[in-house]
Structure 1
Amino acid sequence: MRSAVVTGIGVVAPGGASREAFWELLTAGRTATRTISLFDAAEFRSRIAAECDFDPAAAGLSPQEIRRMDRAAQFAVVSAREAVADSGLDLASPAPERIGVSIGSAVGCTTGLEEEYVVLSDGGRSWLVDHSYGVPHLYGYMVPSTLAVEVARGAGAEGPVSVISTGCTSGLDAVANGVQLIEDGAADVVLAGATDAPLSPITSACFDAIKATSPNNDDPAHASRPFDARRDGFVLGEGAAVLVLEERAAARRRGARIYAEIAGFANRSNAFHMTGLKPDGREMAAAIGVALDRAKLGPDAVDYINAHGSGTKQNDRHETAAFKRSLGERAYAVPVSSIKSMIGHSLGAIGSLEVAACALALDRQVVPPTANLANGDPECDLDYVPVTAREHAMDVVLSVGSGFGGFQSAMVLARSD
């Protein structure tokens, strides 16, 4: 039976544009949230975000690539290059048609589209925009598939190439799609992950309107506080993570370092509300149950839960209920944490960043903490690993995601013997 393993990890994240910088920030419990510097946010309700200190030229992109690609595409390409280098895989060895790409994104090339609209509309003063002022690659910003195409171009991938867009579960679902391609025999190697660079006026305005983001502008470093009784919304972020997925037997034959096996995954929808969540966590619990069944594991096998942990009142209570419903008494014995407390919520990208964190946690046997968790919510009464990373023996890790539109996804990662 074919199965997929993670042999390479590449990351662009707030606080560090590499895999090791990302892991060092997480295990140190440092937050990368700060006052927005990418645009003037003075008029917004929430003026804070977790920004990436990203220099595309220093990251190895050519002037032509920088001109052609939106910031989100740049993140994806740089992450993919790091992942391939980390894997030690020679992409000239597999036949090109056996290499696939699966990239997730919630909002695509938002940054480039907004910047170009401002230019084309003369700062919003012209209702009819003048297309002649647009950059030559404006069409690419309009088409989300550009993100996967850029990664495929760099890897020489001629197999299945796709973009998965399921809101805030896009990262998890894109990795799951890559795993499915390998399990089904459609590809032997897949570059799978997600990217989003949503930090722009239009994104801030949208989340301001529904009051989903934290207004704690005077203390950005402590604004993202999942599971804390004082939490008041999430903090926007940006970034990308790409994983090299390989067929397990082939990875072993070439002596690859294996971070983890993707043992099971599932997704469900609550068919309930665009942004609302039912308090019982039934749909997330169902996704967890199916993911564990696919992995042929029971609740007692779970050693760590990487939570969605957005820091909104309803989400944190919703998934606490889901853990109890799906794992029973085991839920009280398993450490749980949310890395959004440190790198913010990068919408579609966050799921892939969380899978990367889970793979690294398994490899290094350390649970990242939940930063800023100082005052527990009685309704969130599990072991949320506050403030400080914890050494912990782990064989199986569960990662979950929850997205606008009612999407609920779960993924099980296991150490590969």
Structure 2
Amino acid sequence: MTRRVVITGFGVRAPGGSGAAAFWDLLTSGRTATRRISFFDPSPYRSQIAAEADFDAAAEGLTPREIRRMDRAAQFAVVCAREAVADSGLDVGALDPHRVGVSLGSAVAAASSLEQEYLVLSDAGRQWEVDPGFLSAHMFDYLVPSVMPAEVAWTVGAEGPVAMVSNGCTSGLDSVGHAVQLIHEGSADVMLAGAADTPITPIVVACFDAIKATTPRNDDPEHASRPFDGSRNGFVLAEGAAMFVLEEYESARRRGARVYAEIAGYATRCNAYHMTGLKTDGREMAEAIRVALAQARTDAGAVDYINAHGSGTKQNDRHETAAFKRSLGETARKVPVSSIKSMVGHSLGAIGSIEIAASMLAIEHNVVPPTANLHRADPECDLDYVPLVAREKQVDTVLTVGSGFGGFQSAMVLRAPEAEAA
């Protein structure tokens, strides 16, 4: 019999406030956390806005040595992991450390520190040959992405499977899916899983500028992220993190743990087609959805809410609308769909985990977050996207999906702990 996997603790750091309560308040109020970039002068760039997190590493309890050693993304991950363990009530130190693992997702890893170090070594790009005399002692930590999950493992004392998952913008879903699979197969009993990305740096902004994926609506940052709206013109870059404590259900029940949700199904597919292009029929995402629902032994009619990828690009919004119709049939027109990227932006590899947190809270509170800034839907996006205002609704089963550069398409089914499969 397959072991059931549940979420018993979580920590989140997202734009708009620190911690779970501020995060949920932002989402349910329909407010946005997008603003003009303050980390550097954005005036030379096409897109000059982002969703920045107000994160103070020292106030979060990190020591000066930890702050010096760790990239900003790793700091986010460690803070969220500590919060997740505390929230779970789990005494990790009393467990067999070889049965505790970490699965962390990130798209660009330590991009911010790598760029800062390059600027120092090259004298802000003026020197073609970099000067090793200015090399940071922590350059290895920034260069090798696997250091990030290692930092989390050191934080919680995990000596079991530890892995970095970097599948672009589906990393935050895929890292949690990987952790679920390790518990299913018996390789671990407890996993710290989630994702962190802090990509608001000049080089990342320039990269998305080059392909015109981000919005140039610089004069109105608050309303710039407009998933499914007919006037949308690109996504808003963001940063953030979310980490979860995943446990085998029976073990969690025996210790009397609070269970937020069961991760009942997960699947990922690749379109093997194009780095950024998406086929209009949504076939690959639809297949991931179909397999995730089958794994959860849940039919389409049981889905109460779809947490969409909803990046705010025309290509993506139309692609996943087609995928919902293809995989769910007539249910696609009845179930509410929304995109929280309209409020917290697109934090690349981290967003999938942040969206899992939103989905889990939707189950806990029986509230569907809205799609902010949606005033006039694209005629090709003709589903119920919950515009502007949150909606009270019984939510027992959530489908959350992600789409990433490279053709990655992932889907996950979360279910209320007391709900039965359809």
TM-score range, shorter chain: over 0.9
- How many Å separate the matches in 2 of 1:147 and 1:337? 31
- Please state if 1:395 is matched with 2:396: yes
Cα deviation for residue 236 of structure 1 reads: 0.1
Paired position in structure 2 for 1:58? 59
Cα deviation for residue 123 of structure 1 reads: 0.7
| Equivalent AA in structure 2 for residue 377 of structure 1 | D
- Please state if 1:117 is matched with 2:118: yes
Paired position in structure 1 for 2:315? 314
Unaligned runs of 5+ in 2: none
Cα deviation for residue 362 of structure 1 reads: 0.6
Unaligned runs of 5+ in 1: none
Q: SS at the partner of 2:17?
A: coil
Paired position in structure 1 for 2:49? 48
| Equivalent AA in structure 1 for residue 185 of structure 2 | D
| Equivalent AA in structure 1 for residue 127 of structure 2 | S
Paired position in structure 1 for 2:328? 327
- Please state if 1:106 is matched with 2:111: no
| Equivalent AA in structure 2 for residue 330 of structure 1 | T
Paired position in structure 1 for 2:246? 245
Q: SS at the partner of 2:215?
A: coil
Q: SS at the partner of 2:311?
A: coil
Residues 119-268 of structure 1 aligned to structure 2 (within 5 Å): 119-268=120-269
* TM-score normalized with structure 1 length: 0.99
| Equivalent AA in structure 1 for residue 263 of structure 2 | I
Cα deviation for residue 40 of structure 1 reads: 1.0
Cα deviation for residue 17 of structure 1 reads: 2.1
- How many Å separate the matches in 2 of 1:22 and 1:95? 33
Residues 285-300 of structure 1 aligned to structure 2 (within 5 Å): 285-300=286-301
| Equivalent AA in structure 1 for residue 143 of structure 2 | M
Paired position in structure 2 for 1:80? 81
Q: Deviations over 1:138-168 (max 9, x none)?
A: 1110000011011000000000000000000
Q: SS at the partner of 1:144?
A: coil
Paired position in structure 1 for 2:416? 415
| Equivalent AA in structure 2 for residue 201 of structure 1 | P
Residues 353-392 of structure 1 aligned to structure 2 (within 5 Å): 353-392=354-393
| Equivalent AA in structure 2 for residue 206 of structure 1 | C
- How many Å separate the matches in 1 of 2:381 and 2:120? 47
Q: Deviations over 1:20-55 (max 9, x none)?
A: 111111111110000000011110000000000100
| Equivalent AA in structure 1 for residue 279 of structure 2 | K
Q: Deviations over 1:52-73 (max 9, x none)?
A: 0100000110111001000000
Cα deviation for residue 127 of structure 1 reads: 1.4
Q: SS at the partner of 1:237?
A: coil
Cα deviation for residue 134 of structure 1 reads: 2.2
Paired position in structure 2 for 1:30? 31
Paired position in structure 2 for 1:273? 274
- How many Å separate the matches in 2 of 1:187 and 1:325? 35
Cα deviation for residue 272 of structure 1 reads: 1.0
| Equivalent AA in structure 2 for residue 306 of structure 1 | N
Cα deviation for residue 377 of structure 1 reads: 1.2
| Equivalent AA in structure 2 for residue 186 of structure 1 | S
Q: Deviations over 1:182-226 (max 9, x none)?
A: 111111110000000000000011000000000000000000010
- Please state if 1:284 is matched with 2:285: yes
- How many Å separate the matches in 2 of 1:161 and 1:58? 28
- How many Å separate the matches in 2 of 1:240 and 1:397? 20
Residues 10-29 of structure 1 aligned to structure 2 (within 5 Å): 10-29=11-30
- How many Å separate the matches in 2 of 1:137 and 1:17? 27
Q: SS at the partner of 2:400?
A: strand
Q: Deviations over 1:57-104 (max 9, x none)?
A: 001101110010000000000011111111111111211111100000
| Percent of paired sites with the same residue | 69
Q: SS at the partner of 1:236?
A: coil
Cα deviation for residue 394 of structure 1 reads: 1.3
Q: Deviations over 1:351-403 (max 9, x none)?
A: 00001111111111111110000111111010000111111101110000000
* TM-score normalized with structure 2 length: 0.98
Q: SS at the partner of 2:268?
A: strand
- How many Å separate the matches in 2 of 1:39 and 1:107? 18
Cα deviation for residue 132 of structure 1 reads: 2.1
Once superposed, which parts of structure 1, at least 4 consecutive aligned residues long, lie more than 4 Å away? none
Cα deviation for residue 128 of structure 1 reads: 1.3
| Equivalent AA in structure 2 for residue 156 of structure 1 | G
Q: Deviations over 1:220-265 (max 9, x none)?
A: 0000010000000000000000011000000000111101000000
